[in-house]
A and B are shown apart, each in its own frame.
Chain A
Amino acid sequence: MLKIYVTSVPVDDQEKALAFYTKVLGFIKKKEVPLGEYKWLTVVAADEQSGVELLLEPMAFEPAKLYQQSLKEAGIPWTSFAVDNIEQEFERLKKLGVEFSMAPKEAGTVKIAVLDDTCGNYIQLMQQL
Chain B
Amino acid sequence: MSTPNKTFFETAIDRIYQEDSFSPKMYAQVRLSKAYMEKFYIEKIQLDDIAKTAFLSRFHYVRVFQRMYGVTPRAYLRDIRVLKAKKLLKKGEPITAVCFGVGYDSLPTFSSVFKKCTGYTPKDYQRINKAI
Chain A positions near chain B (C-beta within 8 angstroms)? 1, 3, 50, 74-77, 94, 99-103, 105, 107-109, 112, 114, 122, 129
Contacts and interface: CB of A to CB of B under 8 A. Distances in A.
Interface string B11-37: 001001100101000010011000000
Contact of A112 (B3, B13, B30): B13
**Interface core residue of B8, B9, B16, B68 (most chain A CB under 10 Å):** B9
A108 to B, nearest CB: 6
Contacts of A107: 13, 16-17
A74 B2 contact: no
A74 B7 contact: yes
A112 B10 CA distance: 10
A109 B22 CA distance: 11
Contacts of A105: 10, 13
B31 A1 contact: no
Interface residues of B, dominant DSSP: helix
B131 interface: no
Interface residues of B, number: 20
A107 B9 CA distance: 13
A101 B43 CA distance: 43
B119 interface: yes
B9 A114 contact: yes
Interface string B59-75: 00000000011000000
A18 to B, nearest CB: 25
Contacts of B8: 74-76
A109 B2 contact: no
**Interface core residue of B2, B16, B27 (most chain A CB under 10 Å):** B2
A77 B9 CA distance: 8
7 contacts: A1-B119, A75-B6, A76-B7, A76-B8, A103-B2, A105-B13, A114-B7
Nearest to A90: B2
A129 B9 contact: no
Contacts of B68: 108-109
